[in-house]
Structure 1
Amino acid sequence: MLEIIFEDDHDAAAFLHLIQHSDDRNNIIVREGIRKIGIEKANPAFPIQRFMEPILVKFFLECKEDEHMLSLIEETYCFTDQDEQQQILQLAHSIIEGEADDLPFEPLKLSRKQSILDELQTICLEEGVFYIRSFQTFRLGSYYKQLRDITEAAIDEYKMEQEYQNFIQTLRDYVDAKQPRIKKVHIVHDGSFTLWELRYVPEREKMKYIDRRFVRDHPMYIDSHLLAPLISIAPDEVVLYTDQPEHMMARTIQNVFQERVEMLPLHAFTDAEIPVKHSEG
């Protein structure tokens, strides 16, 4: 008989649930105990090792993985707010599921599943005692290194997103408090973004539209070509012509100016004379 020892009743119940939903359930006999489960063969020819390996892999991935990453988030990286923890965990899930291609993270060549399976295949699971905690501590170093890398990447992304949101709010507050220097502007995104009203304005002349003090206070975030003059002008209306509404700059313009933005497809733009309406006074 193989006996599996768990840290708590919750883990034992979760593992038992996986066994009960296994296709090979009828080939084994399950003995339940306090924080332990015994596995015996109902069919003498049935290999317990082959039965246990995928169930243990699933147990570590589905029942213990989030627990470990949350522990890292709270205890190692000191994020104690539960909402923040869940946001970081969701970012980690996006990395794991391959939905975060833009994140600065290169996954390890060995998959998480294979990393666990390789370690399970080095031990005998036909009989004896298998301690979940000991296996985690002494055998899953490579797997937990992957989880640490994933968690760190998720935290970095979370911090960048928080910085971005704070930056956006700063721009909103600035624009809301400022009188518009031009009532309505048009931005054309055709490979690059062009503030149409200033397209023929010399660079030296263009500088008079830019609040240099504000730009100096946010040098890493505001480009002098588009965002600096746009924010400094603080228009009441922004018409943005683009076929890429998810482009980072397009999203930033939408996030800052919100209901002031009208977004149209690029083909809707015609190079007609667009009057520049300066604010009165």
Structure 2
Amino acid sequence: MLEMIFEDDQDTAAFLHLIQQSDDRKKVIVRKDIKNIAIAQADTDFSIQRFIEPVLVRFFLECKEDEHMLSLIEGSYCFSDPDEQQQILQLAHSIIEGDLDDLPFKQKKLPRSQYILEELQTISLETGVFSVRSFQTFRLGNYYEQLREYVEAAIDEYKMEQEYQNFIQTLRDYVTSNTPRMEKVHIVHDGTFTLWELRYVSEREQKKYIDRRFVREHPMYIDSHLLAPLISIAPEKLVLYTDQPEHMMVRTIQNVFQERMQMFPLSAFVAEKSKG
């Protein structure tokens, strides 16, 4: 018989629920206490170890992983606000699921389940006592190191997103607080972005439309070819033609100009041009 010791009755209930979902549930006998679960063979030829390993892997991934990452987010990286913690946690999940690109360590990692399973396979789970807390403390170092890297990457993404949102708000405030230098402008995105009203204006003349002081205050973020004149002109209306609405620059312009902006496919510009 294997006796399993949990930290609290919530963990015990969660683990018991996972046992109930197992296809081999009828091959074991389960007895439950407040913080303990005892598992014995119903079939003498059946391995408790083979039964319990995948259940434990699911338990650590589904029931304890978020708990550990939140502990890191608050304890190691000092994010105490619950909303911030949840945003970072969701970013960590996006990284784990491969939804965020350009992460250098991502391709080198084993599946998280493999780290846990390999450690479970180094101990006997047929009889004796298994302490969840002891296993977490002494056996899951590599797994937790992987989670730490995911959390650190999520925090970096979160900080960049906060910087971006602050930047957008700064541009939005500038546009709304300044008198438009043109009532309406058009932007054509056909591989490159062209501010149509300035397409025949020399680079020297274009500089006259740019608020140099404002650009100097945000040198890393303001694109001198498009954003700098566009923000400085602060048009009352903006029409953007593109077939890539998810392009980063398109999203930035949309976030800044909001209700001032209309977006159409590139074909609409071609149709308008043929009319004119």
Q: TM-score range by the shorter chain?
A: over 0.9
Alpha-carbon distance in 2 for matches of 1:200, 1:252: 25
**Residues 108, 146 of structure 1: 8 Å contact kept:** no
Q: Name the structure with the higher helix share.
A: 2
Q: 2:106 aligns to what SS in structure 1?
A: coil
> Is it true that 1:170 corresponds to 2:167 in the alignment?
no
C-alpha distance after superposition, 1:131-170 (max 9, x if no partner): 1111111111111111111111111111111111111111
Moved over 4 A (4+): 102-105, 271-275
Q: Share of identical aligned residues, percent?
A: 75
Counterpart secondary structure, 1:80: coil
The verdict on how the C-alpha distance between 1:86 and 1:117 changes in structure 2, with shifts beyond 3 A counting, is same
Determine the C-alpha separation between the residues in 2 that align with 1:228 and 1:156.
27
Matched, 1:40 2:70: no
Bigger Cα displacement from structure 2, 107-116 vs 157-166: 107-116
Amino acid at match of 2:35: R
CA distances 1:165-200 after superposition (whole Å, capped 9, x unpaired): 111111111000111111111101011111111112
1:104–1:153 Cα contact (<8 Å) kept: no
Aligned residue type for 1:239: V
Partner residue, 2:238: 238
- The residue aligned with 1:194 is 194
User: Which residues of structure 1 form unaligned runs of 5+?
Assistant: 276-281
**1:79 aligned to 2:79?**
yes
Q: Is the 8 A contact 1:3 1:128 kept in 2?
A: yes
Instruction: State how far apart, in whole Å, the 1-side matches of 2:105 and 2:189 are.
Output: 29
Question: For 2:123, what is the secondary structure of its paired residue?
Answer: coil
Q: Distance in 1 between the 2:99 and 2:172 partners?
A: 29
Report the counterpart of residue 24 of structure 1 in structure 2. 24
TM-score (norm 1): 0.94
Over residues 39-69 of structure 1, what are the superposed CA-to-partner deviations in whole Å (9 max), with x where a residue is unaligned?
1001111100100000000000000000000
The answer to whether the Cα contact below 8 Å between 1:103 and 1:157 also exists between their aligned partners in 2 is: no
Counterpart code for 1:227: L
Counterpart-to-counterpart distance in 2, 1:175 and 1:214? 11
Counterpart of 1:186, as a letter, is H
Verify: 1:89 aligned to 2:89, yes or no: yes
TM-score by length of 2: 0.96
Query: 1:17 corresponds to which letter in structure 2?
Result: H
1:157 aligns with 157
- Residue 262 of structure 1 aligns with an amino acid whose one-letter code is Q
Give 3-state SS (helix, strand or coil) of 1:129's partner.
strand
Check conservation: 1:31, 1:39, Cα contact below 8 A: yes
Shift of 1:123: 0.8
Q: Is the 8 A contact 1:72 1:148 kept in 2?
A: yes
Q: Deviations over 1:55-93 (max 9, x none)?
A: 000000000000000001111111111011111111111
How many residue pairs align between the two structures? 275
Q: Which residue does the alignment assign to 1:259?
A: 259
Gaps of 5+ in 2: none
Find the aligned partners of 1:101 and 1:233 in 2 and give their Cα distance: 34
SS at match of 2:38: strand
Sort the Cα spacing of 1:128 and 1:18 in 2 relative to 1 into closer, same or farther, 3 A: same
> What secondary structure sits across from 2:86 in the alignment?
helix
| One-letter amino acid of the structure 1 residue matched with residue 229 of structure 2 | P
Give the drift of 1:106. Answer: 2.2
Aligned to 1:269, the other structure's residue is in SS state helix
Q: For structure 1, which segment, 219-228 or 16-25, has the greater mean C-alpha deviation from structure 2 after superposition?
A: 16-25
